Amino acid sequence: MSLFERYLSLWVALCIVIGIGLGHLLPGAFEAIAALEIANVNLVVAGLIWLMIIPMLLRVDFGALHSLRQHWRGIGVTLVVNWAIKPFSMALLGTFFLGHLFAPMLPEGASSSYIAGLILLAAAPCTAMVFVWSNLVDGEPNYTLSQVALNDLIMVFAFAPLVALLLGVASIIVPWNTLALSVGLYIVVPVVISQLLRRALLRGGEKRLQHFLSAIGPISLASLLLTLVLLFGFQGEQIIRQPLVIVLIAVPILFQVYLNASIAYWLSRRFGVAWCVAGPSALIGASNFFELAVAAAISLFGLSSGAALATVVGVLVEVPVMLSIVALLKRTRRWYEKGISA
């Protein structure tokens, strides 16, 4: 894990400050950027999102899907957590905390927008950072790669229907045309481009691919941070008025992350999954593809929406929370292995 990735939460916090400051000093510039739209898609943000997502998808080898049988129990556990538990648990937690418990402390009428952002966050399983987390717990690389490839493939078909279902349950109007466009722009097209580029690079050998990934890695993170500056430039006035909002939004995210990591870890132990697979399974079950969530929230609800803000809070808490889960997994390894050997 690079120094830059390790302190991602710090950089996000700095982007909050910079974005709010620039939004206050240069409101006209941000309004001009917001106006650069075609079919509800902001062209500046779309370009930044592509620069974020495509380098991450380049790491995914869909050829790894042939190894699914080797780790079918671990794959099964993660699929259940990612697609049958996590999105629905987030919808419930978001509704409970933001729709009821914290509603009096939030801006009037904003709860549903924040909940929508949380649903978008939970409906997209993590893609790139999972490789970092898996490596930190000495995870089985073939399992991690095949699970990520399978999740990405499922996401192409399941993301839009799942989001539409949960937003409908949360009584939020779903702009189907925009949702379909978001899936095409931020899942299908990046997957196709990344896989074609991956094949072209691999013609020069694995080293060429790795060298290219190392070279464009900073571009991906820089694009993420620039997107956050734009988001907070539009959200600045609201945050200054109610800074507690970010803390309140973080509460259901934290509950959801630890809950789903625990469920995945417990189910893996229950079904006798090896620890080198159970660790990545818990981490994949807990983490989110926040780049996609941010892009979808902006497309569906706009740059200045509460949904976009909620997805950004997910970015803010991602690194420290996932590192804490890594530490917990390592400390409980003896307990875990004792249970599956009994």
Q: Report yes or no on 311 lying in a domain.
A: yes
pTM: 0.80
Contact 236, 242 (CB under 8 A): no
Name which of 70-79, 113-122, 158-167, 178-187 the model is least confident about: 178-187
- What are the backbone angles phi and psi of residue 41, rounded to the nearest 5°? -105, 120
Q: Is residue 237 part of a domain?
A: yes
279: exposed, middle or buried (Cβ count in 10 Å: 0-12, 13-18, 19+): buried
Which pLDDT band holds residue 10 (cuts at 50, 70, 90)?
A: confident
Domain of 246, in residue numbers: 3-332
Give the span between the Cα atoms of 132 and 65, in whole angstroms: 20
Residue 40 lies in a domain: yes
Condensed to tens digits (0 to 9), the pLDDT of residues 147-158 reads 888 888 888 888
At residue 66, does pLDDT exceed 60? yes
Range scoring the smallest mean pLDDT among 42-56, 275-289, 326-340: 42-56
- Give the phi and the psi of residue 288 in degrees, each rounded to 5: -130, 155
**Across residues 233-256, what is the average pLDDT?**
83
Instruction: Identify whether 338 is part of a domain.
Output: no
**33: number of CA atoms within 13 Å, CB side?**
22
Is residue 306 situated within a structural domain?
A: yes
- State phi, psi for 123 to the nearest 5 degrees: -80, -5
Residue 201 located in a structural domain: yes
The CATH number linked to 243 is 1.20.1530.20
Q: What is the pLDDT of residue 1?
A: 54
Nearest one of 130, 235, 149, 246 to 191, comparing CA atoms: 149
Residue 114's pLDDT band (boundaries 50, 70, 90)?
A: very high
Q: What does pLDDT average to over the chain?
A: 84
Examine the pLDDT at 90 and tell me if it is beyond 90.
Answer: yes
Residue 44 — pLDDT band, cuts 50, 70, 90? confident
Q: Name the most confidently modeled range: 38-42, 98-102, 124-128, 314-318.
A: 98-102
Predicted pLDDT of residue 83: 94
What's residue 2's pLDDT?
A: 60
C-alpha distance from residue 187 to each of 91, 95, 277 (Å): 22, 27, 26
Q: What's the whole-number mean pLDDT along residues 273-290? A: 90
341 lies in a domain? no
Residue 337 domain-assigned (yes or no): no
Our count of domains for the chain comes to 1
